[in-house]
Structure 1
């Protein structure tokens, strides 16, 4: 195993391309094509599931037991719940996010025949009209509406535009990269993960690294609504490393710098042996890292296990401030996680017996105690 240089310019470029490609869960075809085009450019073979999850393959010296590394390319968003008499739209969220982060957001509405720009606003949005009432109104998705940037004043105007219940709304990401290395945007969860995974793939390809076993970069399309990596795996995968965001908030041990290894989330502990292999790599190659536990969090790993895949899972994260809101990360964390991922791709499988779904006791590991 060797430390590979990550092309940070490429990482940032692909991240911005992803951020400017709308992909709320359920409306992900455009971003799927973007990733596929990039994999083709890097000469990495891949397959698609029926709905568009991507399974790429970096060939190794052995086919099994192989490993997968997963990031998701779907995001939060909204959907039209009702057309209102005043020409505005009632919304419901796609994925779990608070409406206070939606208030004031610029958005794109996708109808069957076109797209329209607009803004999500609280029901009482004008201080000049409602005065102190705007500070007293209730929060929640029932108390916001979508104002479309068209000449619409009543429900009939919306119908003439071709607006329907169930139309998708994508939230502008509004990215900004500062001179100090901070990246601010919506949907860094998990487009930053997808970008750093692509950067790690590029590093492995350009350095012509020989991998011990097949490695499958996966890009899932429904993590924000729970199903995530439930469909893109195959039975030869013994280890799966998930890349996602870590929450840098009071009471958490995550950081916007280095790699954060998640030991457990709301679905339970991650695989002891794979998690400690990831920690060992960080220690051996001097990758800054910390450990954390997330109480209100689940990822592609949970979806894979709940779908019946008997696979060892681990979760490595880049620290995000204000997750599921207007998020902030630091480029240093993306570099650290990409370096870690590129080294993990080169690592041998944890246990030879893992090439079989079922086997004898011989070769089965034990935890220290």
Structure 2
């Protein structure tokens, strides 16, 4: 037996990315995960930050493991209602304005009403603006064009839209015949889908884990503090399951599991990293070791918070991170296989 639920993971991932969940507004997607865990009869609870913790009992309850993946995504907030009836936005998470130019979006009011729009440059029309291609993509020049008949700020406010309303981006999710999934928010809903399928597999196959294991579905990772609390005193190992970033000088690809050796927070635990490599090699799991210079994870946030844990980071390789992302079913499968064997491995500290 190993992780063999790639198709089911893709379908679950498609559902997850289709639920808007920018950091700060994740209740709907957390409810979705709660429903999933309730159906498979896995113990779970919310923390005060709005994240979710599922627990599988293990043979040894004196030492615990924790795995985490985050369900919050990049997004924005309404910064200003302009006199023209368009909206200025403020970004949630670390990405660039150019990556959302031309994107469809949804605005959710505090009363729960939802409106659609498009994120555009103010100087979009080349028939009017000579500098349409040269103007900087920034907060001053980019705005939301609402799909409503509004001409001024008063008419926008009459809809119930106000400063502080959340803006989410259309994921445009698509699964290709060649085995790719391309969508916004694969960071980190790809890993959430993998963990949920793993929990289901362990439950259905009645696999006895060596240690009591917690799964934290965090909801504030994109803003730096999703996984830095609710770690039991018995927790020895803390493994963040997040994306592997691709680009020049990187070894990560879309077909293997990425094992991070270092990011902006510094090196990850050396002994855990070596054990993950041994597990991958012993079980025919395709993997790559990599360093992410502009990256932090829930595991590094936990370390910064002072927790006395062994920390690691792995995940599927994601192309074009924090933009329009893509990965392949091979990467999902290799990540799931490594996690399957990791959950059943001994810690030996």
TM-score, normalised via structure 1 length? 0.92
What does residue 205 of structure 1 align with? 203
What does residue 47 of structure 1 align with? 45
Which of the residues 203, 223, 232 maps onto 2:221? 223
Cα distance between partner residues in 2 of 1:208 and 1:283? 26
**Contact 2:84–2:153 (8 Å) recurs in 1:** yes
**Contact 1:185–1:327 (8 Å) recurs in 2:** yes
What does residue 110 of structure 2 align with? 112
Secondary structure in 2 matching 1:129? coil
Cα distance between partner residues in 2 of 1:141 and 1:312? 40
Per-residue CA distance 1:237-263 (angstroms, 9 max, x = gap): 110111111111111111111111000
**Contact 1:200–1:339 (8 Å) recurs in 2:** no
**Contact 1:6–1:200 (8 Å) recurs in 2:** no
Cα distance between partner residues in 1 of 2:135 and 2:31? 42
**Aligned positions of 1:59-98 closer than 5 A:** 59-98=57-96
What does residue 242 of structure 1 align with? 240
What does residue 38 of structure 1 align with? 36
Cα distance between partner residues in 1 of 2:287 and 2:325? 20
Secondary structure in 2 matching 1:219? strand
Tell me by how many angstroms 1:142 deviates.
2.3
Cα distance between partner residues in 2 of 1:248 and 1:138? 26
Tell me by how many angstroms 1:345 deviates.
0.9
**Contact 1:118–1:146 (8 Å) recurs in 2:** yes
What does residue 128 of structure 1 align with? 127
Which of the residues 306, 320, 329 maps onto 1:322? 320
Unmatched runs of 5 consecutive residues or more in structure 2:
none
Per-residue CA distance 1:44-76 (angstroms, 9 max, x = gap): 111110122111111111112110111000000
What does residue 150 of structure 1 align with? 148
What does residue 335 of structure 1 align with? 333
RMSD across aligned positions (CA): 1.0
**Contact 1:121–1:147 (8 Å) recurs in 2:** yes
What does residue 288 of structure 2 align with? 290
Tell me by how many angstroms 1:211 deviates.
0.8
What does residue 357 of structure 1 align with? none
Q: How many residues align?
A: 348
What does residue 355 of structure 1 align with? none
Secondary structure in 1 matching 2:342? helix
**Contact 2:67–2:238 (8 Å) recurs in 1:** yes
**Contact 1:174–1:186 (8 Å) recurs in 2:** yes
136 and 5 in structure 1: CA distance in 2 versus 1, 3 angstrom threshold: closer
Cα distance between partner residues in 2 of 1:147 and 1:302? 38
Secondary structure in 2 matching 1:71? strand
The ranges of structure 1 where at least 4 consecutive aligned residues each deviate by more than 4 angstroms after the TM superposition are none
**Contact 2:3–2:340 (8 Å) recurs in 1:** no
What does residue 313 of structure 1 align with? 311
Tell me by how many angstroms 1:214 deviates.
0.4
